[in-house]
A and B are shown apart, each in its own frame.
Chain A
Amino acid sequence: MKQKVILKSLFVLGLMAVLHAQPSQWVDKLLMVRHSTGSTVPDYPGLMEVTGSAQVLIDEENSPQKGIPNLEDAPNFPISKRYLSMNMGYYWYDGILYTTASGSNERNEDGSQFLRWTIAKWEDEEWHCLGYMNTDIATMLMAIPCAEGRFIIFSNKNLKFENPSDRTPFYRASIPSGKNEFRLDSPIAHGMNEFPSFFSGQSLTNYFHCQIVMTDEYSTIIDGKTGLFWVFSLEKASLVKAGTIFKSITPEIVANNGYSVSPIFCIQPEKEGTVLMNTENEKVLTDGIGDYYDKLLATPNLSVEEILKLHTLRDEDIARQRPFIAWYRLYPENGRVEKLSMAPEGGIEIKEKGISFSFRPMLDGSVKMGNISSQLAQDSVKKREPKATDK
């Protein structure tokens, strides 16, 4: 399929709401978001080719105040760009920004392949390499910074400890003094024993559905397909609470990798240290609506145009039958989940065409609806493109 046909297929029908914004992080009074940049193709303003990205600190008007380049774009970094192209998130802790990245496979002397994961920190306006960790090529890693030079490693695989009772996607890690290779110190039990299938296979199926929310003292990981969550203390590099957002979750739903329709729309940290999210109304999560479209979407060899058309029909159908949006607040210090009786100020409770379900938190505790990353990308595209000639 030529690029032109691809682009035609990717151009969608009208402006509608967008979802699945990654959580941002508060940095003093600014909010850090990931900002992809690029350019649109003539005649297809709704599609941008991503040629760069950065972490951007924005103010309450969503105006960028400071940009931090991607690790792979760091000048004079000791590791080649080809080994840093796959970035697994940027996280602040105690005034320093950390990231984990990997890229092309490397080879051992015996010809076997491995992945080198680089962990770096942004300090004094430049990237510094902290060290690395090697894994097999099918392993994914995210390193969450904690106190005293420790990290919580979140992987899609059981990394090291072979005792079945130690199987977990979570580990404590550190870098021994004078060394440059990170060491897995101990496993952190995942605490989901009531869901035996959660980590029973070769890898964590919902790994890329999990989102990490950083607050000053805690890191909360939430599986967007099931509502399972884990809260970690960053001071102690330990699990505080493993829990569930939705009371309707069952071992069977977890065994099927989650609800048929992703229940969680958007998750963001609040300035006060809590975690706010909006979701489908829990009463409808098991009603089977959307299953029809899921089966259609699973049809092999669908064109891009067909996929997007099905998503449009699915969204319209679901919005008709599931018009309500629920809001929840999670308190990391004890893992308590509160279902809000009404949306926070600025939030919406009824789905409306053209209104995004994504939101950003504000300093005063209210929210502003909209997908920040898409807005920033659109703004950057408008700035780049030449203005139309006046008549």
Chain B
Amino acid sequence: MFLSIMFVASMPMLGGAEAPADVATPHVIAVAKPTCRLWQLLEGPPDAPRFWVSWDGGVPQSFYTETAARAYMKEHCDNSEDEPEDIIF
């Protein structure tokens, strides 16, 4: 699963000991993005959103267009199948 990594600098260490003020201590926080599934409602109330994004353990999110659903998935899900590659022009 792809890990989204965030760095937070200069946080106090647990237990009371603090890092020296002149040394930034990076903390790596791994945020795992879920693998999502995209659904289309084929039947339903006229004003209901047609596209839904779901994942185990999370409340499904609804969208009126597939474009909006995919924009959400891009931000919150990791459905990548391969490792990053160099872009060749």
Q: A residues bordering B, Cβ < 8 Å? A: 1-3, 6, 9-10, 12, 14-20, 22, 34, 36, 38, 40, 45-50, 53, 78-83, 85-89, 102-104, 106, 116, 129, 132, 140, 180, 208-209, 261-262, 301, 303-304, 307-308, 311-312, 314-315, 318-319, 356-357, 374, 377-378, 381
B44 touches A308 (CB 8 A): yes
Docked-complex contact A1 and B42, CB < 8 angstroms: no
How does the 8 Å CB contact mask read for B57-89 relative to A, with 1 for contact and 0 for none? Answer: 111101111111011011000011110110111
List 11 A-B pairs, Cβ < 8 Å.
Answer: A9-B60, A12-B48, A18-B44, A19-B46, A50-B38, A86-B74, A87-B70, A301-B59, A303-B59, A311-B48, A312-B48
Using Cβ atoms and an 8 Å threshold, which residues of chain B touch A17? 46
B42 touches A374 (CB 8 A): yes
Question: Does B31 sit at the interface, judged by CB under 8 A?
Answer: no
Task: Tell me the bound Cα distance from A342 to B58 in angstroms.
Answer: 46
Inter-chain contact A381/B42, CB cutoff 8 Å = yes
Provide the residues of chain B in CB contact with A3, threshold 8 Å.
Answer: 37, 54, 56
Is B46 a contact of A208 with CB atoms below 8 Å? no
Question: CA A119 – CA B52 in complex, angstroms?
Answer: 27
B52 neighbours in A (Cβ, 8 Å): 10, 304
CB pair B70–A86 under 8 Å, yes or no, is yes
Check B22 for interface membership: any CB of A closer than 8 A. Answer: no
- Which chain A residues lie closer than 8 Å to B37 at the CB level? 3, 49
B10 on the A face (CB < 8 A) = no
Assembly CA distance A19 to B48 (angstroms): 8
Choose among A22, A45, A87, A357 the residue that contacts B46 (Cβ–Cβ < 8 A): A357
Is the CB–CB distance between B65 and A78 below 8 Å? Answer: no
Across the interface, name the chain A residue whose C-beta is closest to B4.
A105
Between A6, A14, A16, A381, the greatest number of chain B beta carbons within 10 A of the residue's beta carbon is seen for A6
Is B67 touching A88 in the complex (CB atoms < 8 A)? yes
A290 to chain B minimum Cβ distance, whole angstroms, is: 9
Complex contact A1–B59 (CB within 8 A): yes
Given contacts A1-B56, A81-B82, A89-B67, contact A308 B74 (CB under 8 A): no
Q: How far is the CB of A225 from chain B (nearest CB, A)?
A: 10
B49: chain A residues within 8 A (beta carbon) = 20
Complex: how many Å from CA A1 to CA B57?
Answer: 5
B56 x A82 contact (CB < 8 A): no
The answer to whether B81 and A81 have CB atoms under 8 Å apart is: yes
In the complex, the answer to whether B46 meets A104 with C-beta atoms within 8 Å is no
Complex Cα–Cα for A227 and B49 (A): 19
> A48 contacts which chain B residues (CB < 8 A)?
39-40, 42
Across the interface, name the chain A residue whose C-beta is closest to B58.
Answer: A1
Known: A38-B40, A80-B87, A180-B89. A140 touches B45 (CB 8 A): no
How distant is the Cα of A124 from the Cα of B8 in the complex, in angstroms? 50
> 18 extra interchain contacts, Cβ-Cβ under 8 A, other than A10-B52, A106-B84, A209-B64?
A1-B57, A9-B60, A12-B45, A15-B43, A19-B46, A20-B65, A34-B66, A36-B66, A49-B37, A82-B80, A86-B71, A87-B70, A301-B59, A304-B62, A311-B47, A315-B46, A374-B40, A374-B43
Query: What residues of chain B have their CB less than 8 Å away from a CB belonging to chain A?
Result: 37-52, 54, 56-60, 62-68, 70-71, 73-74, 79-82, 84-85, 87-89
A2-B56, A104-B74, A104-B84 known; A208-B64 Cβ under 8 A: yes
Separation of A6 and B53 alpha carbons in the complex (Å): 10
Q: Given known contacts A208-B64, A304-B60, is B70 in contact with A85 (CB within 8 Å)?
A: yes
CB distance from B27 to the nearest CB of A (A): 15
Contact of B74 among A6, A16, A38, A102 (CB under 8 A): A102
CB-CB under 8 A from A129, the residues of chain B are 89
**Quick one: given A85-B70, A314-B47, are A80 and B82 in contact (CB under 8 Å)?**
yes
Q: Which of B62, B70, B85 has the most CB of A within 10 A?
A: B70
Instruction: Write out the residue numbers on chain B whose beta carbons fall within 8 Å of the beta carbon of A86.
Output: 67, 70-71, 73-74
A370 to B54, CA, bound (A): 27
Given contacts A78-B87, A208-B64, contact A45 B42 (CB under 8 A): yes
When distances are taken between beta carbons in the complex, the residues of chain B under 8 Å from A49 are 37-39
Given A15-B43, A16-B46, A83-B87: A307 and B70 within 8 A (CB)? no
